[in-house]
Structure 1
């Protein structure tokens, strides 16, 4: 667990990556995509609490199956609306859409599993009869 002082300090790309369990390359990738915008101290990128929080949201969004474009829209809305109502509405719509997609995938997966179990049972029966 990261303490409050660690969350407030500036981190290098390597430190941020290690803290979040990703590679420095992944952090740079999200920077290249415009999802995070670290400050610079000389030639060194430094990541403060805002960029750390954005990275946490990006990683959570990816884990939940949102595209980078969708995540980018959620992050952009956060900066526009101080009460975050538009962000919450967009997030709700995105979450509902993702739930529908996953439920559709579950139905398809259940059908496929049923068919595979039937094929396995049939093959087992034929093998038992011939053995």
Structure 2
């Protein structure tokens, strides 16, 4: 059974990214598609990496963090990569909680300002 490979256009469609994004991920060495002339093809490895990249972006990780994390797997294996992920997740969780606190504070202030204005109008 041969591995299914996606073309550049199919890869963009599968992950709902623009061609510019996909080319950029290649440029910064997150992805390394097979090349046949000018055509690019993405096999299971690149599709799995793209899944991890998209998940990392969803959680707010920077692309360089994701790149370094993917390199850990290649250089040190699964266990080291999982340990690195736990550390990354802890840092990101703290950052997201801080952002949430700032957003909650801004929402409270905005609601209070709105209420003050309404009371002055009426």
Q: TM-score, normalised by structure 1?
A: 0.86
1:36 aligns with 2:31: yes
* Cross-structure match for 2:57: 62
Aligned length: 121
**Bigger Rg over Cα:** 1
Q: Secondary structure at the match of 1:40?
A: strand
**Structure 1 unaligned residues grouped into runs of 5+:** none
1:79 aligns with 2:74: yes
* Cross-structure match for 1:89: 83
Aligned counterparts, 1:11-26, within 5 A: 11-26=6-21
Q: TM-score, normalised by structure 2?
A: 0.92
Please identify runs of 4+ aligned residues in structure 1 that moved more than 6 A. none
Distance 1:109 1:16 in 2: 35
